[in-house]
Amino acid sequence: MPLLFRKIKELRNHLNTLRCERNFSLGFVPTMGYLHEGHKALIKRSRLQNEVTVVSVYVNPTQFGEGEDYERYPRDLDRDMAVCEELGVDVVLAPTDEEIYPQGSKTEVYVRELSEVLEGKFRPGHFKGVATVVTKLLNAVQPDRAYFGEKDYQQLKIIQRLVRDLLIPVEIVPVETVREPDGLAYSSRNVYLSPEERESALSIYRSFLLAQEMINQGESNSAIIKEEMERFILSHPHVKKIDYIEITDPELNPKESVERGDRILVALWVGSTRLIDNWKVG
């Protein structure tokens, strides 16, 4: 079993003791738990590239808006510990709220502009919560490398920017989205979907294939591609609402004409579940 720490001080003492014994590179995988194949890919990459891997499991309240799924977000630390053991994780940090947000906390981290587009428009405050907790976790663990999935592409871009802007000495390693065999991206929120809703959720991946096919056939007009994607997605019965379909360059600047390497980003509601996904244009 990996060592489990609830307190940052204890984690730091442990890592300091290890450092006195030997030199090692430290990989860090921050998660909100309920680990799935997507997380496993992050952990495996960290294990490949580092001698020691720390995984954090913390459902961060400040990145959930009012009326969002903070309370019902799936939690199962025993299961997460078993997954971490199976993958050879050395240490799990599962801090309490008080450890992360000591009473009287007044400091927040906010990445301007990047936090205001796409997800930021629909989830105000979300990225301030993410940027703040990731900064705290990076300070707590002080890893050489930290691993983030491309599934949350905007989050990845914000974290790359914040470590650059705040001079945090860590390499951010992006890891490709892991999909189920039928194309649905792994997400902890997939557990909310009924089988019928899951079928409608597949429209996201299939709309990416549709867009890619249009691009392969020579279509480069973003507006036309987005319109076709929207029409296709909305033909699925359980899709309640599309928050956005956007085509951007890799830095999230909107594009009118699509090229290889651009990103197509989608957020939508299937029943009462909000899903996001994105696609790198090939």
Contact residues: ligand PAF, CB under 6 A: 30-32, 60, 63, 130, 133-134, 152, 155
Pick 31 or 248: Cβ nearer ligand PAF: 31
Catalytic residue among 39, 126, 236, 238: 39
Pairing of strands 52-57, 273-280: unpaired
CB of 9 to ligand PAF, least distance (A): 21
Residue 279 phi/psi, 5-degree rounding, is -140, 135
Does residue 34 come out as left (phi exceeding 0), alpha (psi in the -120 to 50 range) or beta?
left
CB of 62 to ligand PAF, least distance (A): 9
In degrees, rounded to 5, the angle at the alpha carbon of residue 39 between the alpha carbons of residues 177 and 105 is 110
Buried b / exposed e over 124-160, threshold 16 CB at 10 Å, is ebbbbbbbbbbbbbbebbebbbbbbbbbbbbbbbbbb
Query: Rounded to whole angstroms, how far apart are CA atoms 4 and 253?
Result: 41
Residue 58 phi/psi, 5-degree rounding, is -155, 120
Residue 254 has what DSSP assignment? B
CB of 276 to ligand PAF, least distance (A): 11
Pick 46 or 60: Cβ nearer ligand PAF: 60
Known catalytic membership, residue 36:
no
For residues 33 and 14, the answer to whether their CB atoms sit within 8 Å is: no
CB of 42 to ligand PAF, least distance (A): 10
Query: Rounded to whole angstroms, how far apart are CA atoms 110 and 1?
Result: 36
CB of 155 to ligand PAF, least distance (A): 6
Pick 128 or 263: Cβ nearer ligand PAF: 128
Pick 63 or 190: Cβ nearer ligand PAF: 63
Burial (CB < 10 A; 0-12, 13-18, 19+), residue 231, is exposed
Active site residues: 39
